[in-house]
Every structure is written in C-alpha cells, then in structure tokens.
C-alpha cells in the first residue's frame, strides 16, 4: 500500500488509501521566464547550492523544492522551470514548455506566496506580460523581484518599468551579490504564516534513484507517487537536478517516510561536453553519497552495459545498500526471455554486485512495484539491525570450527574476537593473531556467511577490517625484534671502537 506526500505541496494525491499527514509548511514558489535568475535566488535564500545555475536558458526543467528558513519563518521553497523554453536539442520546438507550464500552474495553485523574478537589464518583455496575466488569475500574493539590479540607476529604472504590471512594490535585487534580498524576505515573512511542521523530521529513508539516461528513473518516481511529479520525455537527459520527493509507505499500521531522489542519468565522462551536464553528473554523484540506499535502474533490453558497471562501482565505492531494478520488462514480453535468465545475465556481468537483490519491474504499467516496495521496506528493516558482540563472536568461532582456513607460512589463523563498530553499512572489525594469515578468499567467504546469517537479501555491503591485536603475540614479537636490533647496533658500535683503537695503537708503534 502506497501513500505519497509531495515535498513541495501541502496536499497529496492518493489512490486506494487514506491521505497521510503532510507537513504543514507554507509553499513559496519562484516563477519567471528563462534565464532571469530564479535558481540563483533559490540558492541564495537557502544559503547553499541546490539548483543548477548557468547562463544557458532552460537549465531548470523539473521543480526543485527544499525547506528554507528566513525571518523566523519556515517555508517550502520551490524553484520552477522557465516559462517559454526553447532548446537547441529540440530544434526550436517547445517540447518541454508545455510540461513546465503544467507543473508551474499546479504548484502555484497550492502556493501561499509567489516570487516572480524579472530581468532589469532586459526590461519588460511580452513573455513577462503573459506571466503577469497568469499570476493575476491565480489570485496569489505576488512579490516582484527585479533581478540583476547591479547599480542604482538600474534599480530606479526597474521600479518605473515594472510598476505598471500592478504588482507593487517592486524589489530590486542582485542575487549574485546578495543585494536587496533583505527587503524581499521581509515582505515574504509578512505574507507567510508562522509555525508549521518540520520537514526535516519526516525525511526518513533517503532513496536515490540512479542509472543511465533514459532507463526510466523519472517514470518510476512518478509511478510510485501516483502523480506526474517530474517531467518524463524520450529526450535523453531530461532530468538535470537531483530532485527530492517525500513518499509515505504503509507497512501494516506504521507509516514509513521515504525521500525519493530523482537524479540525472550518468553519462560516460567523454560524453559530458557541457557545463550543465557536468553539474548534473556532480549532483547525481552527490545524491548517491548523501542517500541511505540506492535504487539502481537498468534497461532490461540492454542490461549491465559498460556504463552500468561504472555506475555500480560508484555505488559500491560509496558503500551504499543497493537494489538493482531491471525496468522496461514489458519490452521483453513475447521474446521468450525469462526473468530468471535476465537476472542471471546481470549477475554474470556484475559479479561484484552479488549482494544486491534484483527486482524486475515495468514503471510504465506498474508491474511488480509491490515487490520492489517490499524490498525497500526489507532494506530499511535490515539497516537497523545491530549484531551483539557476544552473538558475533560465537558465530565467528562456529564458522572457523566448521570451515577452518588453511595455514599460511606454517601459521594458523585465529580470530581472537570481533565487534560491530558502525551501521549502516555493517562495519565489523576482526582482531586476529596474525594479519598475514588472513587470506583474501577466506575474507570473502566470511563476508558471505555474515550476510547470509544476519542480513539476508538486503543489498547491504559489509565492510570487514582485519587488525592484528596488540598486546599479545604481536607485541612480544615486536619487542624481541627491537631488542635484537638494539643488541646488533651495540655490538657493531663496540667492534667499530675496537678497530679504531687498534688503528691508533698501530700508528703509535710506527
């Protein structure tokens, strides 16, 4: 059973369940035409870089939301795509313009206040007049921010030029230099009610959705939400920002909060030819690092490609719990391919991801999403498991007794004791009598046994650190070696003094 709560919306859309309690945060939406500085204002209010900022028009497409605090108010701040986008890759066609307009219209309906950003240097344009008409119909409080007012003359000209639109007062600002924002935020604070919930308390499990371009990441997010939250198109690279969207799953009588992070598709390094693509890739890699777990999407028609393996290595290096999701299963129906064969192919091509469970789904039709959500809940449950030291040591001794390791250099490995120092992911430190006697294949064997016993099919990478215990044989051997070295140095110095003395005595005789 799924229940969704939009991160940038107070209300929620639901199917076959009762709406879950959403955080009562006022919504403040930033709108405007392309390349006027909406994302720069968004980042400036947040005090950190969340949305991608670039001089190219149409960089932002999906709406990006994040909680913000200013003047004693907490709001959900939403950055939107530019109204009237024309992109080179679409050959001048407004492929994304209609989708962006729909998203802006829907979020403005739920907004408490709207910040409309215009460009002082360009002046009033026909697009601005169309946006003004749209905002008048919305009947929402509008705060007109005239951006790029780099000097007093531009600020004065902006007030005279944009005042006839009927949205007063006009707030001249410069986002790049943080000028004029105090007056704008003071006006917003007066229009936004105080109080409200704390969105940080309901982030829950952070689940990053990653993969190559066009494998269905945004389609999967929309299907889980039951709403067209993010833009989906056949154009590769549609998603650019890392977009956080809260979701509430119902597990019996418990509401499980999950934050889905829709990311841009990771391309090969040599295919990253623009600054925007580089920023998108950086946002995706950052989303993997800050997530609690990862949904790794593959294309079922072309699974485990070379780029898929590179992405899997990023997930493995970040030591994140992972669920491999083979999407677009509908394209293989009727071809005679079985799910078991598909899973076997993925295992053979990515053996280093053997710990990650594989779920075959179809985001377009919703096929097998229940199994995926069950797996997500299982990962969440396993992430809270901690192994008591006594239980872990009993397990280690039993394992060594049943399957003892082979001797190395005449020395038999002994695990003195082990302890779990961190989780997630499970980080276990093993203290042994001789570090060199711990062979790599036996370390892998022990990792597999620990996973089967305590974290079955949870997709959790296990980190095992092997240390030679100090204060036992290691210290004694080191002390003996140090003493032997000291004796050798003392003996060498004594012999050198004797030779020197003998040479001097011989010289005196002559």
pLDDT tens for each residue of 363-377: 889 899 999 999 998
pLDDT of residue 340: 92
Residue 336 tokens, joined: 């005679």
Is the pTM for the entire model greater than 0.95? no
Least confident among 198-212, 375-389, 442-456: 198-212
Q: Please indicate whether residue 262 or residue 302 has the higher confidence score (pLDDT).
A: 302
For residue 473, pLDDT beyond 60: no
End-to-end CA distance of the chain: 106
Whole-Å CA distances, 193 to 189, 196, 466: 8, 8, 56
Is 389-468 in the same CATH topology as 200-382? no
User: Residue 343: what pLDDT?
Assistant: 92
Q: Quick check: 130 pLDDT over 70?
A: yes
pLDDT score of 156: 78
Percent of the chain having pLDDT more than 90? 11
What sign for the dihedral angle of Cα 469, 473, 479, 481?
Answer: negative
Q: Report domain extents, the chain.
A: 24-197, 200-382, 389-468
Only one residue has tokens 């802006």, namely 104
Percent of the chain with pLDDT over 70: 76
- Band of residue 393 on the pLDDT scale cut at 50, 70, 90: very high
Specify the CATH number of the domain 200-382: 3.40.50.300
Please tell me the predicted confidence (pLDDT) of residue 405: 85
Q: Residue 459 has which token pair?
A: 């997709």
320's CB contacts (< 8 A; 6+ apart) are 208, 288, 291, 292, 293, 294, 425, 461
**pLDDT number for residue 322:** 92
pLDDT at position 347: 93
pLDDT at 350: 92
Encoding tokens for residue 387? 């192994």
Looking at 29-38, 256-265, 411-420, which range is the least confident one?
A: 256-265
Pick the CATH number of 24-197 from 3.40.50.300, 3.40.640.10, 1.10.730.10, 1.10.1760.20: 3.40.50.300
Determine the average pLDDT of the residues in 136-154.
84
CB 443 within 8 A of CB 449: no
d(CA 303, CA 311): 13
8 Å CB contact between 61 and 96 = yes
CATH number of 389-468: 3.30.300.20
What does the pLDDT read at residue 360?
A: 94
């Amino acid at each position: 059973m799924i229940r969704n709560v939009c991160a940038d919306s107070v209300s929620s859309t639901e199917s076959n369940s009762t709406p879950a309690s959403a955080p009562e945060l006022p919504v403040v939406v930033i709108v405007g035409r392309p390349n006027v500085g909406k994302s720069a204002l968004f980042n400036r209010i947040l005090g950190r870089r969340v949305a991608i900022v670039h001089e190219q028009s149409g960089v932002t497409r999906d709406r990006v939301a994040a909680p913000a605090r200013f003047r004693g108010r907490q709001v959900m701040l939403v950055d939107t795509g530019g109204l009237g986008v024309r992109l080179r890759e679409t050959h001048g066609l407004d492929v994304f313009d209609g989708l962006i307009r729909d998203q802006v219209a829907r979020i403005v309906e739920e907004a408490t206040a709207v910040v409309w950003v215009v460009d002082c240097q360009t002046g009033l344009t026909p697009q601005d007049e169309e946006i003004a008409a749209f905002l008048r119909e919305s009947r929402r409080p509008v705060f007109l921010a005239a951006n790029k007012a780099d000097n007093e003359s531009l600020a004065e000209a902006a007030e005279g030029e944009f005042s006839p639109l009927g949205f007063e007062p006009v707030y001249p600002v410069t986002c790049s230099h943080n000028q004029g924002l105090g007056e704008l935020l003071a006006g917003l604070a007066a229009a936004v009610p105080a109080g409200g919930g704390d969105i940080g308390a309901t982030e829950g499990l952070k689940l990053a959705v990653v993969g190559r371009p066009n494998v269905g990441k945004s389609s999967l997010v929309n299907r889980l939400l039951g709403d067209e939250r993010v833009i989906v198109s056949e154009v590769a690279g549609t998603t650019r920002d890392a977009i956080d969207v809260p979701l509430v799953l119902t597990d019996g009588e418990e509401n499980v909060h999950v934050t889905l992070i829709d990311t841009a598709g990771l391309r090969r390094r040599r295919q990253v030819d623009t600054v925007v693509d580089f920023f998108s890739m950086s946002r995706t890699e950052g989303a993997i690092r800050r997530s609690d777990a990862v949904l790794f999407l593959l294309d079922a028609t072309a699974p485990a490609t070379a780029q898929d393996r590179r992405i899997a290595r990023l997930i493995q290096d970040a030591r994140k719990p992972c669920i491999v999701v083979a999407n677009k299963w509908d394209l293989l129906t009727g071809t005679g391919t079985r799910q078991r064969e598909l899973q076997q192919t993925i295992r053979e091509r990515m053996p280093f991801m053997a710990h990650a469970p594989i779920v075959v789904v179809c985001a377009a039709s919703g096929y097998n999403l229940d199994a995926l959500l069950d797996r997500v809940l299982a990962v969440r449950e396993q992430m809270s498991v901690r192994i008591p030291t006594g239980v872990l040591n009993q397990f280690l001794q039993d394992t060594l007794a049943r399957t003892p390791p082979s001797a190395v250099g005449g020395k038999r490995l002994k695990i003195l004791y082990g302890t779990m120092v961190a989780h997630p992911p499970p980080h276990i430190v093993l203290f042994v009598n001789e570090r060199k006697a711990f062979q790599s294949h036996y370390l892998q064997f022990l990792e597999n046994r620990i996973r089967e016993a305590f974290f079955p099919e949870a997709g959790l990478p296990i980190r095992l650190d092997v240390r030679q215990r100090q204060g036992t044989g290691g210290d004694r051997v080191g002390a003996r070696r140090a003493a032997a070295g000291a004796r050798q140095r003392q003996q060498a110095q004594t012999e050198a003094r004797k030779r020197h003395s003998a040479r001097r005595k011989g010289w005196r005789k002559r």
